[in-house]
Structure 1
């Protein structure tokens, strides 16, 4: 053991000297990934064996952040389907088998080949549709409200696909005897201590999403397992170990042996078939020439997007395709992915993890994809606070630099993992195909397909109703995802809708520039309509001054005035009444375009290792504070509009006037708004939709003079016990006054409890009497220097000197960026001062 430790320390010293030499060159951050990988091969950070052939995995940190199929079924499917229903609904045990007969000459391709064939069929069908439509008007006219025959066909396709889904689910769960037992005992032994949050769609229960980050170092799976076991044994025997004041071994937390940052899981690289998709993406570029279906270099590509959704929904419901898919056997997830999947399931479903995992209704790819989506969104938000020299680099380049500095390689790696698991078995494929059917009906026809099936009065005949009933009081993840897809498109964030549509489509669509551009345009129109609805309630629109060409604006203002749900759902507190309407709409669409740019950057990247050999040296607390505006956002309206123009040109989006005055889009937007109003009558959404511009993340606004803050909060009473707090702590996220000391009479006012309810375990508190900052991450606490300094730039801890203190904007901006970039557990300065409270580990 000592010899191994000595070898490790020698290698660590040599690695540190190499890193110091590498950090002297500022140009290395822009070296190609191939050069970096060739210079520094991946080595396990624990055993440091350069000759080992065992694959390594990157250490990562996961953080919680704020539907008459029997006529088309194969003979074996009827047995398995009825077995599934009899287990879930015992009252159906008397059902008899119908006679079935089918053509047995069905070719059984691989799932990858099947998706490729579906992709080619969709592309051919789209070309045929667009050839028969001379203009956008002709095509949109074919997407009027569905007739009764079309609706019946959609319901028939739905039942066929869902029948295959239930058959595949039953076939998979029949191999796990414990699943049937769990299903039968579900009503008598289910936990109800923590109910599901009232979010709409699929996502984690107690937070907005899961953020993934990595220091860039790797370990062997076996080495990590032995290391965790050793830490847990020492922890249980009360023997001290390195990082004992920071990590919780029961949660599989450990410090990276190289950089001493926290990790709680590993993510393996997956070289293989997915590299072919990346090669196709690298050969394509948005600046290259793309086929234009309608007149104009920057024509709106809504028609191709609608054609894509319609053709995809038709193809995935084809009986022969589903028949061949049903004959394919399921594959198990790769063992190297099981640790991170278990960790994510525990964070997504804290009280339902075992039931959901063993039920077979948790999609591996869906969880990985949702984690990627949230990490990408949070990266975009974190990049808003940076300052770039005007004229030197564009805002898009600043956005990409944030991607590089925040371990962006792990998102590229997570994308590969999500794509590799999307088609690992029939269940995953059918889940996605069902989603594309629901997206098509919601976007193209303005109809919630699942709601239509329950309104026809024939609930007993639809498989979707049976799937919902089998969940009893639980809404399974597959139903959550399908409800999200069937919701009105205006009810959700456009970028999230784009991500879920890409998730549902066959894999080869990620290599199609035309398809990506079309979908970006379609969801951009959704973003514009949401912004327009929001502006109608902020005195931005004077209907009396609008002409006949602005009919879309007039009609939306009229509908919103009659809809109480729309007035309450679309909210924005960051609209200046002095802004011009079109500038407001463009600024409200800015976050969507920035996230699309980041997504495109990830899709084009083939990097499966750190972007830079010094990526693990990046520290969010090391931003220079000497420059007065180093972290202060100075993006004015003109600079912001310039960046918006760059993004619009990048995605070939036409002028906003063309979008607002398009008569054909008028009817489509009207259909979307009517769909939202109709759905809101029968279903109440759990929250509101905040439509905001790309403003930087900010903590609570603090007064310039500390005396003002002291006089306001020093004598305030606790909201629970009504006594004056001896050591008040001001939450800088929401402004509530808390206490760092735990009391049984007012436990909800404690910093730890408040951080869970306010920031999903993350808390930033200003200690009023000490003037310092308390950083809370679940059970971990760490002090942070005071943002208030005296006239000479010195701190006055506990106010012992009694000098006037003034807010230092640079210090406060550095703290803000640290929180926005989820860097509290990635900052060496924070971790050195971190302690863990064992009281909360019980």
Structure 2
């Protein structure tokens, strides 16, 4: 999106069409139709904002850390860091830090790997069920466990109050906290994916065309997973193994049948986020599982994802297109058979009857050609495959596959994740060949559809709305595109009124994330004793925002409790800044500087690259 410089452009700028706002709406809808104990463990939160961890990679003993922090507290003047909030400088590299991530002795080559003995997928699924039942939490008190608790407290304290004040956060505390814990793992994997350009393609020019320097030199995903797993097992007060059985379709002998019980208040399997389930199962299973077990988890969840995508695409079809698939033989071995099964089961719930006329008139419907439909399926399955590949890469220290083109990313990832192990001709390859069933796939898919049909019978509109936009391909985060000439910005914004106080600010400042005009350092728009720019940084950027001050052309960065003067991204013809616009020279956008600003934002490096921070004391 571009920064609007006219009233027409401003009308077309949408600020609510973000991943964070979409999941916020989805959580509100889920809480309206489903039991809190069920939906809280069906999706992730933390998109706006989340908790991200990065490390400088240096190590120190816990006792040495305590002595070091005591020495910092004893110093009379520490104006640059908040020692009382746990901040300190790394003793080796002098980078700012606010927590310590404990390293478990189980990490590394000395870890005891849980080896796989079964060979077939059904037996592997049964073994995983036993692991979920028999993996007790570690309740032994030690200095390591205390350090892990302290690290979790630091992550919890960094979250904004708007999530802590949600009604379900107190009524269903265990599920809410577990959702928070598993969402931290998901958020850090998503951030790494953003820093890789939004995909796992290794060729230049793909995705955001970001330099490799955005990827952290030292990853802390595995130590983070150990901390999250310890707390996740303490909070898992429900039978997670039953969710695993519902997804896999394999039950113990003498156990409940594979068909799902149609409980109206439970989130249907077809609405549960496969990536959220993946992080939950990984945290609740032993972290040192053999790689074969991990592949089995991914195989089971890919089956669910594949049929979720087909159900979503079927809701976008016109009746004539669904009739084309209805005449096929139902099954789970091919795209044609799978779509026929879905249409056959869901049309009985009258899910397709709603808005049929609008569907007939739509111009963006899936094609009845199997190849075109399979391309859409692969595109919507890629986000899950990327997260699973990053998890495998970190947990088992395996290099990611070489992906030369975006068209080959799906193929390379399904082979990397061992969803497909046999070579085949490119013309025969499709998304359905990656399906692996531990039991009777047709019976399992039919039970998923029957469960959703019960929900659709009672809430037809909600059932359709949940499916239509369940899997969306989002654009990668980026700053607003700025015009080349600074005069366009100055002429449009320097006399523009604030939308809250309806007065012209003395220092008009524009948020580079959403384009909102705020009153900088003024009391007219203060809320809860906090000035507008600081409050907007919390609402829009999770505590981090960049503002272009119109009257000076400078960039101000707000990062938590601090702020700094970053510099200007507009230079004159000689490549010099015009501070406070005193010289009156024409200014032009410096593409290199603006890219540097965006890269520091995406890489979470403001704290390490900018040294002249001041405490803003909520006065900006």
Task: Please state if 1:516 is matched with 2:329.
Answer: no
Aligned to 2:448: 672
User: What is the CA distance between 1:530 and its match in structure 2?
Assistant: 3.9
User: What is the CA distance between 1:520 and its match in structure 2?
Assistant: 1.2
Q: Distance in 2 between matches of 1:687 and 1:701?
A: 33
Aligned to 1:718: 498
Task: Please state if 1:264 is matched with 2:98.
Answer: yes
Aligned to 1:741: 521
Aligned to 1:651: 417
Aligned to 1:599: 391
Equivalent pair of 1:206/1:760 in contact (CA under 8 Å): no
Aligned to 1:815: 597
Equivalent pair of 2:556/2:563 in contact (CA under 8 Å): yes
Q: Distance in 1 between matches of 2:60 and 2:39?
A: 37
Identify if the C-alpha distance between structure 1 residues 387 and 667 changes in structure 2 by more than 3 Å, giving closer, same or farther.
Answer: closer
Aligned to 1:121: none
SS at match of 1:589: helix
Identify if the C-alpha distance between structure 1 residues 527 and 779 changes in structure 2 by more than 3 Å, giving closer, same or farther.
Answer: same
- Shifted more, 640-649 versus 663-672: the winner is 663-672
Residues 769-794 of structure 1, C-alpha deviation per residue, up to 9 Å, x if partnerless? 32232221122112223333445544
User: What is the CA distance between 1:384 and its match in structure 2?
Assistant: 1.2
Equivalent pair of 1:790/1:796 in contact (CA under 8 Å): yes
Aligned to 1:414: 224
Identify if the C-alpha distance between structure 1 residues 406 and 673 changes in structure 2 by more than 3 Å, giving closer, same or farther.
Answer: farther
What residue ranges of structure 2 are gaps of 5+ in the alignment? 1-18, 21-35, 250-257, 330-335, 359-363, 421-428
Alignment map for 1:74-223 (pairs within 5 Å): 200-201=40-41, 207-223=48-64
Aligned to 2:541: 759
Aligned to 1:837: 616
Q: Distance in 2 between matches of 1:674 and 1:786?
A: 59
User: What is the CA distance between 1:517 and its match in structure 2?
Assistant: 1.6
Task: Please state if 1:589 is matched with 2:381.
Answer: yes
Q: Distance in 2 between matches of 1:343 and 1:678?
A: 43
Q: Distance in 2 between matches of 1:306 and 1:272?
A: 25
Alignment map for 1:230-629 (pairs within 5 Å): 230-232=71-73, 239-241=76-78, 244-245=79-80, 247-272=81-106, 277=111, 311-312=129-130, 316=133, 330-332=139-141, 334-347=145-158, 370-384=183-197, 390=203, 405-408=216-219, 410-419=220-229, 431=236, 434-441=239-246, 444=249, 447=260, 451=263, 487-505=267-285, 507=286, 510-535=288-313, 542-543=321-322, 548=328, 550=336, 552-553=338-339, 555=342, 561-562=352-353, 580-605=372-397
Identify if the C-alpha distance between structure 1 residues 422 and 249 changes in structure 2 by more than 3 Å, giving closer, same or farther.
Answer: same
Equivalent pair of 1:587/1:694 in contact (CA under 8 Å): no
Identify if the C-alpha distance between structure 1 residues 662 and 291 changes in structure 2 by more than 3 Å, giving closer, same or farther.
Answer: closer
Residues 278-320 of structure 1, C-alpha deviation per residue, up to 9 Å, x if partnerless? 6568xx9xxxxx9985xxxxxxx7x6776566x549x93xxxx
Equivalent pair of 1:443/1:488 in contact (CA under 8 Å): no
Give me the TM-score of the superposition, normalised by structure 1: 0.52
Equivalent pair of 1:730/1:738 in contact (CA under 8 Å): yes
Number of equivalenced pairs: 528
Task: Please state if 1:641 is matched with 2:451.
Answer: no
Q: Distance in 2 between matches of 1:400 and 1:413?
A: 26
Identify if the C-alpha distance between structure 1 residues 385 and 308 changes in structure 2 by more than 3 Å, giving closer, same or farther.
Answer: same
Identify if the C-alpha distance between structure 1 residues 305 and 389 changes in structure 2 by more than 3 Å, giving closer, same or farther.
Answer: closer
Q: Distance in 1 between matches of 2:444 and 2:175?
A: 34
Identify if the C-alpha distance between structure 1 residues 562 and 714 changes in structure 2 by more than 3 Å, giving closer, same or farther.
Answer: farther
Q: Distance in 2 between matches of 1:687 and 1:719?
A: 34
Relative contact order, higher structure (CA 8 A, sep 6+): 1
SS at match of 1:605: coil
Residues 464-490 of structure 1, C-alpha deviation per residue, up to 9 Å, x if partnerless? xxxxxxxxxxxxxxxxxxxxxx63344
Q: Root-mean-square deviation (CA), in Å?
A: 5.1
